[in-house]
Structure 1
Amino acid sequence: MLFFQILEEMKLVELLAPAGSREALVAAVENGANAIYLAGNAFGARAYANNFDREELREAIHFAHLRNVAIHVTVNTIVADEELEPLKDYLRFLYEAGADAILVQDLGVAKVAHETVPDLPLHASTQMSVSSIEGVRALAELGFTRAVLAREMSLKEIRSICAHSPIEIETFMHGALCVCYSGQCLMSSMIGGRSGNRGRCAQPCRLPYTLVDEKGQDVLGDKAGSYLLSPRDLSTIDVIPDLIEAGVSSLKIEGRMKRPEYVATVVRTYREAIDTHYAGKGYAVTQEERDDLAQIFNRDFTVAYLKGRPGKAMMSDRRPNNRGLLIGRVTAYDWDERVVTVKLSGRLGLGDQVDFWVKVGGRVTATIDALKNAQGREVSEGEVGDIVSFAIPSAVRDHDRVFKVYDARLMERAKETYASGAPVRRIPVTIAVHAAIGEPLTVTIADNEGHKAEGQTDFIGEPARKRPLSEDVIRKQVSRLGTSVYEMTSLSCDIEGEVMVPMSEINEARRKAVEALDELRLAEIETREHRPEPQFKDSKERPVPRHATFLVAVATLAQVKAALAAGADGILFGGDSYDHHVITAEEYEKAWQMAKEAGARIDFNTPRIVHDGQQKHLETLLAAFAAFPPDAVHVHNIGTLALVRRLTDFAIHADYSLISFNKQTLAFLKDYGVAGATLSPELTAKEIRKLATETDLPLACIVHGRLELMVSEYCVTGSFLGGCGEGPCSQPCTRGHFALKDRKDALFPLAMDQFCHMHVLNSKTLSMLPHAMKFRPAGIATLQIEAKAMGEKEITAIIKAYKKAMSFPAEPAEAQLAWIHEQEGKDITRGHYFRGVL
């Protein structure tokens, strides 16, 4: 039985490590990872990592399996239609190569995987934004064997989900954090064309922003840094026992873009922490271990939401990149020689690199090529309390802080674990040797998992003339396991008579036995459990929603009134409010009555993010809706989809954040009982036209409004103005409107919903007004207008404009185009309709 199967049976937590390169893979394995997640050259959410081609993937799986380490392959991007056939081929390859599981985000990819490789375990990526037991159970019914929870979960929530989950639960324990719920971010895509959902995030969250009010005034000043969307790095080294005792199956380190030394250091540290917990001798973390984690890379550390909402304490607002480890302060600077003197609070050695955080002009960086002590003698290193001096390229001032951002000794120690070519962590084996005159010599190797293999010499033992074979000679030869993964722990020799066998023959028998043992260990992985078939238990007959050309998404009754007065034939009401207001059942009923009186379709929206603690509120609303049934309920994640499907008979519409990017996803949704879908705003007009011909599911496209670029558990106004994390938030969002201003003075409005989620809206308004008349002929049933961020007058004007534009020809006349552009205004975007995404 392979070790990762033993882990499951003994209920030991899996240490899951990243590998973006062969070196990182070896570093992870040799430092104690139980499983590795990595990607091939396509379909992985870190497209800019080195990743692995097919031959490298085979070698990686072979390397890991020999060492009792599982390989999970990320296939967690959304996939275009033209990629579906290559995807099938890739999945077959992964299955045949022996991958232990695949991680997916796209429900269409999950469908393809189940049809193509039904025995390959399926893990739900954190990109699926799973934040409730409802979502986990839905995934289990769909054949998933593991769910990676959203990183916004608390320990209490994780513990509850693990206690009720029918499948394995995986959580992150260390590494970079996304400020947005993973899988819900369009910021990189809409600003720069690089889609996070396609593995090409440009990390706009790590850029500087200013928080401004409606007058454009900076409301923070020097109370905060400029990196208001840049979280610190996650570090759970102090709560490892809590995560293990919560029932988590796998603890995951983020970092497929990180260098192998990072992987080696972080894996080693957490391996020691996990083993210490299981040893039961009292959990403790040494200062050296803390320093190693901080030294190898940090933006300062946080436990994120594990213990509550941390507010600004979660953010690295002063610096978005590695800050290293504080190791001293400047005591003097020689302007003529450009030599700095530093009093050390940490070790500094040759080859290290330091950053000075200067008061004026940013930072100064220097590599330590030569180091002198207080007496002026050259030294190789300085310790805590020492005063040292060295050359730097730019001026610094007294009391400037000095951070070590590269530790040569730590890097060398990490490199030793993966760069030598010989295994560091070996598998213990026992070896038995039998030799006799007239027989081949036999070497038998056995591991502690029940595998036993042997190799024999071609040479037949002869009577010895001078030096008969002895145990010492045999021990010297068979213990030479070299670059194999094995280490001899005991030897038994059965030598009959004074026999002679050449050393080369003994070595060959040993080699054969090692190869045979390799084959036995690798063969075991070929036995796979069949993944359960997806369960579509819902047999309820659901109504077919009435047709609506325009569906206007709003969140207030005043907006409903304005939209209906302007002639909207469809209203999408509720879900997330944009003003921190809890939308009540009475308001849903009033919106329903207003729509019915106007003869318009009325759909009810649901929140994009629903945790277990918020689900009761949603369940209460769904129960109330029975008295005033909507034409459809819009859902945004797999958990809410399953909940509405389970509790109601309403028609269900999959909105844009439950991403529909290909025909297989649409096929899945139809099979699951969904009545319609809003297509992903990352699709082009050409892709949309093609998709519409390949499904009979009624489709909608967002044609106008400020798209949500992020939805975040973190609120910048509450964190820096409202005291969130230090006590109850004073809710500054209810006393004014705020926006984030970027380096180019673009303003991204902020909206805070009833659950204190922050929604970052696009700086530009999506407008397809010049092309409104082209959607219906292309097979799109409904044009969806996102109007929650609009005032009533703007809603009225834009609906009237679209209704008029629908009467124009496909190629409007010059006067008509001039009128359209006047209605649109200047600050607009066509989104991805004509440019697509990378």
Structure 2
Amino acid sequence: MIELLAPVGSKEALIAAVESGTNAVYLGGKMFGARHYAPNFTDEELTEAVRFAHLRGVAVLVTVNTLLDDSELPLLVDYLRHLYEIGVDAIIVQDLGVAVVAKKVVPNLPLHASTQMTAHNLAGVDFLAAMGFKRVVLARELSLADIEYICKHTTVEIETFIHGALCISYSGQCLMSSLIGGRSGNRGRCAQPCRLPYTLVDAAGNDALQQADAGAYLLSPKDFNTIEVLPQLIEAGVTSFKIEGRMKRPEYVAVVVDAYRRSIDSYQARQSDYTVSEQDKKDLAQIFNRDFTTAHLYGKNGRAMMSDRRPNNRGVRVGRVLEYKPANKTAVIKLDESLAIGDIVEFWVKVGGRVNVTITAMTVGGKAVTEAKAHTAVTIPVSSPVRDNDRVFKVFDAALMERARACFNRADAFRRIPVDAAVTVAEGSPLVITLQDSEGFTGQAATAFVAEKALKRPLTPDTVMKQIERLGTTVFSLRQLDCQIQGEVMVPVSEINDARRRAVEALETARLARFYRQPLPQDKSIVSIQPQARTVNPENRPELVVNVDAVDKVRAAVDNGADIVMFGGECFGNRPLAAEDYHAAAAYCHSHGRKIILNTPRLLNQRQMQELQARIALFNEINPMAIGVGNIGTLHLFRDRIPLHGDYPLNIYNSVAAGYVSNTGLASLTLSPELNFAQIEELAAKKLAPIECLVHGYLTLMISDYCLLGSFLGGSDIQKCGKACLRGQFWLKDRMNELFPVATDQFCRMHILNAKELSMLPHVPRLMRAGISRLRFEAKYSPVQEVARVTRLYRELIDQGERHPLLVQDKITAAEHENITRGHYFRGVL
């Protein structure tokens, strides 16, 4: 079965989704959900929501898709048990630690991997399948070809997004909201910095897009819309089609679910003649759009994927201004689409921004009307001046909203379950009502009253029908009645009604029985999966790691005291590394008695995974200390080979996740940069693989398959980009005049780096006391001279500790520039 999966952020949205024909809904409780700012559901509301949906045959998936720290694990255990006990069909998970806990405490509760897990290749799906996941939600960056390949080569269910807002960064890999404002997307509190205005500037500080006719919202993508290409996704083998929008209003849910429900049904009814009605296209655009895109399904779209002029709902264009009459503050609009009283329109004024008007009166040809048809000239009052030829967009359609609201604000349901009723009665016996639905579930009840011989008005089929069909407040509707009355008998109407109510209750119970689960054991302990405490050596001296992407930086790191060099992975400057680069880097490290970790890219599509596999022989030949892996796909690919180092994009945030990957083949791991000092110290005190922390450098805030430079400066064809990234350095300037470096790698992916450089120079002694095994300098963006200087400083601080002259004399800040940050070490994230 093809599953249509709808977003639910409130009770009204739940009703809207179910009534509009969804097969399943996903929603969040008050804890651990990636949409913290949605209304969400209390525990009691969750229980009611599950019953409401299950009674109607709709599955309920609950989001438990944030990163958790150790202090939250006891709450997680109780929450998971509650979800299991109320019959939730599956949980959607981002954190590997949450998955491990769930397998321990609720082993029969199905696991779905959130798109926040960044599963973007078959190996990543295979990793999750081996871990026990039933379904994987793929990253939104995949092409249709890659989706089809994965579907054909895996046994787990595959879910993809089909409609709604897009993240410009790979989900689960974005730190922008977190490091700028302390609101972590990985913790469900994204502040959406991608929807803010930016200016792309060059090394001279000039607007690099001055000649490109670009808008200000350079990171704001259009909305995803696949309704016209839905058959191709179905034929690719996708199991579940997911609509984005837990923050959206219930009217949005109603309209979008309704359109996709009918489209899926249309495809299944007549595959070769699939069409989408023009009305559905209009409704989808009207309810909310930033313009639409198919994103990466058919390759890179570049600028065509972006809504750079408007980051929010743009509505539907309904016409242009013919004339503005300042005397009476009215505008005459030549309509392309109809307009009605109650609609809200927005004028895109050439000078002065936007003018928003709720239509309370309108005239056509001097005559007052309540609706104006397309191709007519309508006059409406306006609150501010507009200009001739300004475009007019309808951002609120009163009729559409009224139709959408009918899905959730009616007292009775309109998507009902048909039932057949059988009534039997004879003198000396009770009247028996049997209800059976289309799935074969039955409910039966008998009157307490024993039928008597009628003295005046004997019971008739019509009398029985009037009582049996009174199902208005239930989810059922009567399809047909088989009434068997033997003789002339009498049964009070109140008795018939009571039996009908009990038969309905019995049918509801029968429909819900399929969701029954065995009780959980009383033991809630997760001690067996939590790493135990260890003794931290007070004289701990961590190794210094420098992460670089060029051979000259390898030399600078080694010459200035790096113990370990990480080399490879993404290379800034859009240049791939050749085999001789790897050999040269390894040779220099080995000749100086230093260790080398050969890094792999954090993101690899199917083709790139095959290219990486071809490099296994090279890696084996070099025999590095370890191979660095930054996603679950490469972890799965290399897990049985030489030692692996797990990099920070794996989002290791708690000891259970750290323990799991340690036992899964990682010889060492980098903790999430979103952890604070206290959390790091707690993890370092556990028996885990050697722990590494990022302590210096410009951290990547976003990584994206959308390349801003190529899209706006590379020419009209993004597939034949003019390599603007090689013509100089560029920065994104925000409203606070902060400058975020923009870099591209050899895969033409864009990296937006933090405007501030992380520096933990003054706090090296505390990191040493914490028992951290390795301190890492992210040096890919740093010039060679800076790699040398910073490496030497950390080398001295590790060797001398608190005896270092800069610490003794309290002059450590002299070694830092003014534009530095301590990251989350002292503030953590929400």
TM-score (norm 2): 0.96
Q: 1:130-169, CA deviations, whole angstroms, 9 ceiling, x for partnerless residues?
A: 1111111111110000000000011111111101111000
- Go from structure 1 to structure 2 and tell me whether the alpha carbon gap of 1:460 and 1:529 turns closer, same or farther (over 3 Å shift): closer
Cα drift, residue 741 of structure 1: 1.1
Give the deviation of 1:236 after TM superposition.
Answer: 0.2
| Cα deviation, residue 725, structure 1 | 4.7
Q: Against the structure 1 CA distance between its residues 580 and 572, is the aligned structure 2 distance closer, same or farther, given a 3 Å change threshold?
A: same
- The Cα shift of 1:377 comes to 1.9
1:246 aligns with 236
Distance in 2 (CA, whole Å) between partners of 1:48 and 1:818 is: 43
Count of residues paired in the alignment: 810
Q: CA deviation at 1:387?
A: 1.1
Q: Counterpart in 2 of 1:84?
A: 73
Question: Distance in 2 between the 1:377 and 1:811 partners?
Answer: 88
Q: 1:670 to 1:507 in 2, by over 3 A?
A: same
SS in 2 for 1:98: coil
Q: Distance in 2 between matches of 1:465 and 1:349?
A: 61
1:512 partnered with 2:502: yes
Give the distance between the partners of 2:191 and 2:486, measured in 1 at CA: 70
Instruction: For 2:519 and 2:155, locate their aligned partners in 1 and report how far apart those are by CA, in whole Å.
Output: 16
Q: Look up the match of 1:833.
A: 825
Q: Who is 1:483 aligned against? A: 473
> 8 Å contact 1:311–1:724 — kept in the other structure?
no
- Distance in 1 of aligned mates of 2:138 and 2:591: 43
Map Cα deviations across residues 255-312 of structure 1 (whole Å, 9 max, x no partner): 0000000000000000011111001161111111111000000000000011111110
Of 779, 804, 815, the match for 2:796? 804
Residue equivalent to 2:419: 429
Deviation at 1:590, TM superposition (A): 1.2
Deviations 1:81-133 (A, max 9, x none): 11000001000000000000000010000000000100000000000111111
- Aligned equivalents of 2:803 and 2:402: distance in 1? 65
Deviation at 1:735, TM superposition (A): 2.2
Q: 2:261 aligns with which of 261, 271, 287?
A: 271
The 5 Å alignment of 1:297-312 reads 297-312=288-303
Report if the CA contact (8 A) 1:77-1:199 is conserved: yes
Residue 101 (structure 1) aligned with residue 90 (structure 2): yes
- Give the partner amino acid of 1:461: A
Name the counterpart of 1:445.
435
Cα distance in 2 for residues equivalent to 1:695 and 1:323: 53
Could you say which residue in structure 2 is the equivalent of 1:165?
A: 154
Q: Are the aligned partners of 1:701 and 1:780 in contact in 2 as well (CA < 8 Å)?
A: yes
Q: Are the counterparts in 1 of residues 430 and 451 from structure 2 also a CA contact under 8 Å?
A: yes
Q: Retained in 2: the 8 A contact 1:36–1:69?
A: yes
Change (3 A) 1:394 1:472: same
Determine whether 1:706 maps to 2:698.
yes
Shift of 1:819: 3.4
Rate the CA distance shift 1:496–1:683 in 2: closer, same or farther, 3 A. Answer: same
Distance 1:315 1:606 in 2: 29
**CA deviation after TM superposition for structure 1 residue 655, in Å:** 0.8
Worse overlay, 738-747 or 554-563: 738-747
Deviation at residue 814 of structure 1 after TM alignment: 7.8
1:551 is displaced (CA, Å) by 0.4
Unaligned runs of 5+ in 2: 521-528, 530-539
Match of 1:677 in 2: 669
* Structure 1, 732-741 or 793-802: larger mean CA deviation: 732-741
Equivalent-residue separation in structure 2 for 1:830 and 1:82 (angstroms): 23
Asked whether the 8 Å contact 1:771–1:810 carries over to 2, the reply is no
| Residue range with higher mean Cα deviation, 262-271 or 444-453 | 444-453
Distance in 2 between residues matched to 1:346 and 1:661, nearest whole Å: 52
Q: 2:29 aligns with which of 18, 34, 40?
A: 40
Q: CA RMSD in A?
A: 1.7
Residue in 1 that maps onto 2:577: 583
In the TM superposition, 1:760-779 aligns within 5 A as 760-779=752-771
Q: 1:689 aligns with which of 676, 681, 686?
A: 681
Identity of aligned residues (%): 53
The secondary structure found in structure 2 opposite 1:709 is: strand
> Any idea what the Cα deviations from partners look like across 1:194-224, whole Å, max 9, x if unmatched?
0000000000000011111222211111521
1:177 corresponding residue in structure 2:
166
**What is the distance in 1 between the residues matched to 2:810 and 2:104?**
51
1:644 lines up with 2:638 in the alignment: yes
Question: In the alignment, which residue of structure 2 is the partner of 1:295?
Answer: 286
3-state SS in 1 of match to 2:616:
helix
Shift of 1:774: 1.4
Unaligned runs of 5+ in 1: 1-11, 531-535, 537-545
The answer to whether the 8 Å contact 1:311/1:723 transfers is no
CA contact (8 A) 2:658 2:688 kept: no
| Paired residue secondary structure (1:225) | coil
Secondary structure of 1:449's aligned partner: coil
**Structure 1 residues 724, 795: CA separation in 2 closer, same or farther (over 3 Å shift)?**
farther
CA contact (8 A) 2:300 2:719 kept: no
The answer to whether 1:361 aligns with 2:352 is yes
Query: How far is 1:586 from its partner?
Result: 2.0
Pick aligned residue for 1:718 from 681, 698, 710:
710
Once the two structures are TM-superposed, the CA of residue 643 in structure 1 deviates from its matched residue by 0.5
Paired amino acid for 1:164:
H
The residue number in structure 1 matching 2:776 is 784
CA offsets, 1:717-746, max 9 Å, x none?
Answer: 111111365541121112222111111111
- Check the 8 A contact 1:663/1:695 in 2, yes or no: no
Structure 1 residue identity aligned to 2:114: S
Shift of 1:696: 2.9
Which residue number in structure 1 is paired with residue 119 of structure 2? 130
Matched, 1:413 2:413: no
Residue 633 of structure 1 pairs with residue 623 of structure 2: no
Match of 1:315 in 2: 306
CA distance in 1: counterparts of 2:668 and 2:801, whole angstroms: 27
Alignment partners' CA distance in 2, 1:713 and 1:529: 46
- Residue 273 of structure 2 corresponds to 282
* SS, match of residue 668 in structure 1: helix
Q: Distance in 2 between matches of 1:812 and 1:196?
A: 38
CA displacement at 1:654 relative to structure 2: 1.0
Asked whether the 8 Å contact 2:674–2:824 carries over to 1, the reply is: yes
SS in 2 for 1:703: strand
Identify the residue that residue 732 of structure 1 maps to in structure 2: 724
One-letter amino acid of the counterpart of residue 624, structure 1: L
Q: 1:620 is matched with which residue?
A: 614
Return the alpha-carbon distance in structure 2 between the equivalents of residues 52 and 201 of structure 1: 19
Change over 3 Å in CA distance of 1:294–1:528 after alignment to 2: farther
1:236 and 2:230 are equivalent in the alignment: no
Question: Structure 2: which amino acid aligns with 1:79?
Answer: L
C-alpha distance in 1 between matches for 2:828 and 2:327: 56
3-state SS in 2 of match to 1:299: coil
Answer yes or no: is 1:350 the counterpart of 2:368: no
Measure the CA separation in 2 of the matches of 1:106 and 1:436. Answer: 63
- 1-structure distance, mates of 2:796, 2:389: 67
The corresponding residue for 1:72 is 61
Q: 2:785 aligns with which of 771, 793, 810?
A: 793
Q: 1: distance between equivalents of 2:295 and 2:209?
A: 23
> d(CA) in 2 for partners of 1:356 and 1:652?
57
TM-score between both structures, scaled by the size of structure 1: 0.95
- Report the secondary structure of 2:367's partner residue: coil
Q: Is the 8 A contact 2:806 2:812 kept in 1?
A: no
Equivalent AA in structure 2 for residue 780 of structure 1: I
In structure 1, the residue corresponding to 2:129 is in which secondary structure? helix
2:128 to 139, 151, 155: 139
2:462 to 472, 490, 501: 472
Within 5 Å, which residues of 2 pair with 1:562-601? 562-601=556-595
Deviation at 1:820, TM superposition (A): 1.7
8 A contact 1:310–1:724 mirrored in 2? no
The one-letter code of the counterpart of 1:265 is: V
Which amino acid letter does the alignment assign opposite residue 826 of structure 2? F
Match of residue 341, structure 1, among 332, 343, 363: 332
Deviation larger for 234-243 or 807-816: 807-816
- Give 3-state SS (helix, strand or coil) of 1:756's partner: coil
Which amino acid counterpart does residue 253 of structure 2 have in structure 1?
V
> For the residues of structure 2 that align with 1:727 and 1:712, how far apart are their CA atoms?
16
Deviation of 1:547 after TM superposition, in Å, equals 9.3
